[in-house]
Amino acid sequence: MPAKHKKKHLQDIGLDISSFGKNKTSLRQMSQDKKHHHLTTNEKFIKENTIKLDITYILSSTGDKPFISKTELDDIAPTIIQKHNQLKNSEGDCLDGGIPMLGWLNLPDEITAEKLDDIVSASQELSDNIDVFISLGIGGSYLGIEATFKALTHTFFNQLSRRERGNVPQIYFLGQNTDPDFFRDTLDMLQGKRVGINVISKSGTTTETAIAFRILRDLIEKWAGNRSTEYIYVTTDRVRGALRKLAQQKGYKTFEIPDNVGGRFSVLSDVGLVSLAVAGIDIHEFTAGFQHMKKLLIKDEFWTNPAMIHAAIRHLAYKKGKKIEVVATNSTATYHLARWMQQLFPESEGHNGYGMWVSPSLYSENLHANGQMIQDGERNILETFIRLINHDNILKIPSDPEDLDGLNYLSDKNQDMNFINRLVIDGPAYAHFQGGVPNMIIDIPRRNAFNIGQFYYMMEMSVALSGYLAGHNPFIQPGVEAYKKAMFALAGKPGNENDNKIIIESITNLAHIVI
């Protein structure tokens, strides 16, 4: 065969990646039918899947004394235990509209297996009849769902076949911004597809979500006519709000957001569970993760309670001038947990001039962007690592007889990419500590729903304690209302005429400087 012809033939075939074996993330998705939550009562499984907090680089010292000493933690422990008791007894500054916003504390034990089964059935009903599912929401009605979905699924989920996705539809998110190009690009993905949506809004009036819903509702009604209600799920307040009213009028299937659970604490309610079940996530295992962490945190024993220790360290670090928390991870899958924290902490802590700015980072990518600043810039940073211990896949580094890139020192010792990817936490943790950035590491053993559930409950408890320690209500966000008020006034929303006049006048009176 002429050489030219042979070459063309090889190009036609393209790359062969079969030597890498099956992608374990896809295999997990494809085995979604055979749910694994029975494992969550198995002692060995629990032992191997309990997240841990490593505070070595907080308590150790580079000079004469550690950044935070054990004595300082011992000293603050009784106060934290007292705040914990206040939370458990529904005391303290926790009211929103007269309701104690502490429902999230007991959600793990209140959700029954039957309730989860019902959510799975309802999700299946929708999932079986659609090609694409869109979860609509913003803030607490969005971030936890996307973070869990990303943590547990293939990076290119929507490009996989339905079988590879675990026989579930493609998943998109809308309503988290009002970027018309992003919206339009997402619409391109829907052409000719059967689309189902879950619109999630506790208040039912959130502009971003409401606009997205209006556009999609219109499209679905034009496509499915009088059967459009089969494709629209609504998750909102039990009785109140525009969305509840609309759902009642149109006859949509509805799910409820408990009165006493705020948006950013709601991922374990219908807010998160319905969309996650559509995506094929094992919501029983997810709930078991919350339950497991709740058991660990319920005790008033400071040194065995990772949420108390986490909250104490953040509080003391803030008092010592650490105003920024870089939350860095070594996994694109768990990066979205850091984004979830970026809402949970600042929205709960940013009151009355208090609060630490949370900056999510993916290492080592970001080390080549802001790593210099962390190592050597202003010493106002605390770092929290989310270290994924076991990735789904192991990637070998091939040997190369020429070794021009000098990497054979790894392949000769059979070291894989996973080995290096653990060091992108271990290396910076040591170097940053030496450079005056105290840090703690949250170890996530592997990508499963049990671990993600634990992580959320631990962080929810930590931020609640943090708000109580700072002396403010961590369950409200009055500051968010200010931007809404200005936006509604500028948009001419009826009912805002007075604000509109004041705001327009105030803007007009500014000395406008545009260069």
Tell me which residues are annotated as active site. Answer: 347, 368, 484
Binding segment for ligand PA5 among 245-253, 262-270, 294-302, 377-385 (CB under 6 A)?
262-270
3-state SS class at 137: coil
Own/partner contacts of 432-435, CB < 8 Å, gap of 24 or more, are 432/57, 432/374, 432/375, 432/383, 433/57, 433/60, 433/62, 434/62, 435/374, 435/375, 435/376
The DSSP secondary-structure symbol of 396 reads B
Q: What residues contact 297, with CB distance under 8 A and at least 6 apart?
A: 305, 306, 307, 308, 457, 458, 461
Q: What is the 3-state secondary structure (H, E, C) of 30-75?
A: HCCCCCCHHHHHCHHHHHHCCCEEECHHHHCCCCCCCCCCHHHHHH
Closest distance of CB 73 from ligand PA5, Å: 29
Which of these, 464, 155, 462, lies nearest to 334 by C-alpha position? 155
On whether the CB atoms of residues 123 and 167 are closer than 8 A, the answer is no
In degrees, rounded to 5, the angle at the alpha carbon of residue 140 between the alpha carbons of residues 112 and 493 is 130
Q: Which of 29, 40, 141, 198 binds ligand PA5 (CB under 6 A)?
A: 141
Q: Are strands 439-446 and 52-54 parallel, antiparallel or unpaired?
A: antiparallel
Confirm or reject binding of residue 351 to ligand PA5 (CB under 6 A): no
Closest distance of CB 514 from ligand PA5, Å: 31
Q: Which of 217, 264, 284, 447 binds ligand PA5 (CB under 6 A)?
A: 264
Alpha-carbon torsion 185, 189, 190, 191, what sign?
A: positive
Nearest residue relative to ligand PA5 (C-beta): 263
Binding segment for ligand PA5 among 11-19, 35-43, 256-264, 305-313 (CB under 6 A)?
256-264
Confirm or reject binding of residue 202 to ligand PA5 (CB under 6 A): yes
Binding segment for ligand PA5 among 165-173, 200-208, 322-330, 433-441 (CB under 6 A)?
200-208
In degrees, rounded to 5, the angle at the alpha carbon of residue 117 between the alpha carbons of residues 114 and 119 is 115
Confirm or reject binding of residue 206 to ligand PA5 (CB under 6 A): yes
Closest distance of CB 219 from ligand PA5, Å: 21
Confirm or reject binding of residue 263 to ligand PA5 (CB under 6 A): yes
Confirm or reject binding of residue 136 to ligand PA5 (CB under 6 A): no
Binding segment for ligand PA5 among 196-204, 214-222, 384-392, 445-453 (CB under 6 A)?
196-204
CB nearer ligand PA5, residue 68 or residue 212: 212
Task: Read off the tokens for 510.
Answer: 């500014």
Q: Which of 92, 103, 108, 140 binds ligand PA5 (CB under 6 A)?
A: 140
User: What is the chain's Cα-based Rg?
Assistant: 25
Q: Which of 123, 148, 201, 287 binds ligand PA5 (CB under 6 A)?
A: 201
CB nearer ligand PA5, residue 45 or residue 172: 172
> Mask of contacts with ligand PA5, 463-492, x by CB under 6 A?
--------------x---------------
Confirm or reject binding of residue 160 to ligand PA5 (CB under 6 A): no
On whether the CB atoms of residues 238 and 259 are closer than 8 A, the answer is yes
Closest distance of CB 50 from ligand PA5, Å: 27
**Count of other CB atoms within 10 angstroms of residue 71:** 9
Distance CA 343, CA 366 (A): 20
CB nearer ligand PA5, residue 252 or residue 385: 252
Distance CA 496, CA 472 (A): 29
CB nearer ligand PA5, residue 144 or residue 371: 144
Confirm or reject binding of residue 203 to ligand PA5 (CB under 6 A): yes
3-state SS class at 472: coil
Q: Which of 92, 100, 103, 139 binds ligand PA5 (CB under 6 A)?
A: 139
> Mask of contacts with ligand PA5, 66-95, x by CB under 6 A?
------------------------------
On whether the CB atoms of residues 132 and 169 are closer than 8 A, the answer is yes
In degrees, rounded to 5, the angle at the alpha carbon of residue 101 between the alpha carbons of residues 99 and 106 is 120
Q: Which of 26, 32, 127, 209 binds ligand PA5 (CB under 6 A)?
A: 209
Closest distance of CB 263 from ligand PA5, Å: 2
Interface residues for ligand PA5 in 309-348 (CB under 6 A)? 347
Q: Are strands 95-96 and 99-100 parallel, antiparallel or unpaired?
A: antiparallel
User: Where along the sequence are the contacts to ligand PA5 (CB under 6 A)?
Assistant: 138-141, 201-203, 206, 209, 262-264, 347, 477
